[in-house]
Amino acid sequence: MRNDELLSDDRASIVRSPDPAQVRAVETAIALPAHVVQAKGHGHAGTAMALAPVAHVLYSRVLRHDPADPSWEGRDRVILSAGHASLLLYVQLLLTGYGLEPSDLERSRGLDSRTPGHPELGHTPGIELSTGPLGQGVASAVGMSLASRRDEALHGAGTGLFDPTVWVIAGDGCLEEGISGEASSLAGTLGLDNLVMLWDDNRITIDGPTDLAFTEDVRARYRAYGWRVLEIDDPLDLDAVEGVLREARERTGRPTFVAIRTTIGFPSPARAGTAAAHAGAFGVDDVAEVKRILRFPPDAGLEDLIPDEVLAHTRQALDRGARMREEWLIRFAEWERTHRAESSRRRVLSRGGDPEALARELDTVSAGIPEPGASVATRATNGRVLNALAPQGVLWGGSADLSDSTSVAVPGTGVDAAHPGGDFIRFGVREHAMAAILTGIAVHGLWRPFGSTYLAFSDYQRPSIRLAALMRQPVVYVYTHDSVAVGEDGPTHQPVEQIASLRTVPHLDVVRPADAHEVVGVWRRLVHDRMHPTALVLSRQGVPVAPAGAPPDPDLIARGAYVAWMNGRGADAAILATGSELSLAIEAAKHLADEGVQVRVVSMPCETWFEREPADYRAEVLPSSLRARVVVEAGRGAGWYKWVGLDGAVVSVEDFGESGPGAAVLERRGITIGNVVEAVRRVIAGV
């Protein structure tokens, strides 16, 4: 039936199903986004309206979930990568019984509402991931899929208890973003058959038809990635939709791509199928006509659009979910009884590992650190830590095709289609997707994920890092080749602005250890911190072990900053340093001490850790009366003025590097003992 015929027919529903209650529920799900956005004057109704029939079938007929227990371990996961269509999820969460009320829809996009403009983890029951930047949800869903398959492979013993279906809803914009292609390619290579992508093929973006900039054969692309491709030609035929969704969740050794041909904003007479349906209110008259087409009074209010008979039908999801959860719990109890080793191991992992065992492994690494004065790259020590912790099973990750160079190679078998329980992940040259995949693994909850590349390439990952920080997910980004000391590879590979830039991300801990002892000390804290992502910044070149002459106190390292070396009371000046520049700072301090200057050197591996310390400890390390302060770091220095103030100075790298030996580039860019000494003299003279 053509759209104009549907719109002219006042007698029949546009939704087709032999079940009148299901038809009415879908009419409600289509009408609500149009009404809510019109009432508020802003928001995104078009996609939420077009996909409402599919979402209804998914949540009421296909999805394994229990609205009364949103955190039930056996549930499927639903990720809305096209996060602007958040009303699509909120409507289903309201209708199926997740605890939302009509007033929550009215308050959507408002301060402190449970229905923010884009889905946010922790704000709304039933939301599995914060999404919004397009394509991110696709890649993080790949991470969830990887983690679930590994969980089942290592613990499930063929029961299927820990292998849910991960559903990700994506639009044209998501598939235009490069991150989705990176992640989808890897998902096909790894045979993630617990992953289903529902693609809203509406052929509309904000600027107009997608063919203005997007003309590829998306279905052929996904077949080339190794995905199975299914079609939903008519989302208004609910039985047909259910058949395809049930087929999609069948395990075939490949991820599944479901192309859904929709009309954005349907059945709006004025905006359906146009870019105007993407955002904003449709207009009073148009929304009234939408309601009439959906067999509601044109002036129906929010409560009128949710009839009691609709709730009676959709809230059957509570009974259905309770039955599924109870059946799962019975199977889970049997699994615990018959698989005690797997059960015990999984419980330990869910708690973050065995603290005593982790401490013993780190003690072993610490005992193997060379004597003071030896030259060891911090990336090398970090590699030894990862290898020591690997048998404990708490860490899981890999690199963007750089495992040997960044020293994150661990023993064992890599993940592939035949080995979902592999010991590490080969991400390939996919830095952006790697970062978002790590977020999905972290949200799954069993492992502390890590991924590694060169620091200069962290720029590829910024949107994913930002979302991990927003969600407080404990991802560890291992960055090596941390400064212009990279040397001969030249300025394209020599990070200058990256450390300072990463330090601006809220809730991201940027940690730059100075030597082997600080690397181990940092990990003593990291293995227990499950609330913050961490950028661990490491040197390629060798740096002196214990540059102060003796190993530092591990407890002080974990506090973010400590006095590493001091002449007298250190009352005349303070030199602050991180990473490879700590040894240089200590040498400069010794020169000043020979001149009678009472100078202290403060190692600050992580300023955010230090900021969380009590005020009395911070004052002990950096007394407020000590105004003569100098920072030295081989990167941009703007962020350091918060520590040195207007009276202090920063010795830093303020231009890109150049190709040449690392030591020569550092000297040319001013990272020298002499420059630090001169800076301290100037600051003392000016205070």
Give catalytic residue positions: 431
Supply the DSSP string of 578-602, one letter for each residue: -TTHHHHHHHHHHHHHHTT--EEEE
Q: How many CB atoms lie within 10 A of CB 286?
A: 18
**Closest by CA position to 386, among listed 418, 360, 409:** 409
In three-state secondary structure terms, 237 is: strand
Q: Where are the alpha helices (DSSP H) in 454-580?
A: 462-470, 498-502, 516-526, 554-557
Q: How far is CA 474 from CA 335, 447, 483, in A?
A: 29, 9, 25
Displacement of CA 657 from its chain's centroid (Å): 31
Q: Which two tokens stand for residue 343?
A: 């059960």
In whole angstroms, what is the distance from residue 402 CA to residue 409 CA? 9
* Phi-psi category of residue 268: left, alpha or beta, with phi > 0 → left and psi -120 to 50 → alpha: beta
Q: How far is CA 674 from CA 140, 162, 585, 656, 685, in A?
A: 48, 60, 10, 21, 17
Q: How many CB atoms lie within 10 A of CB 538?
A: 28
In whole angstroms, what is the distance from residue 164 CA to residue 475 CA? 22
Helix (H) or strand (E) holding 509: strand 509-511
In whole angstroms, what is the distance from residue 527 CA to residue 394 CA? 8
In whole angstroms, what is the distance from residue 517 CA to residue 384 CA? 12
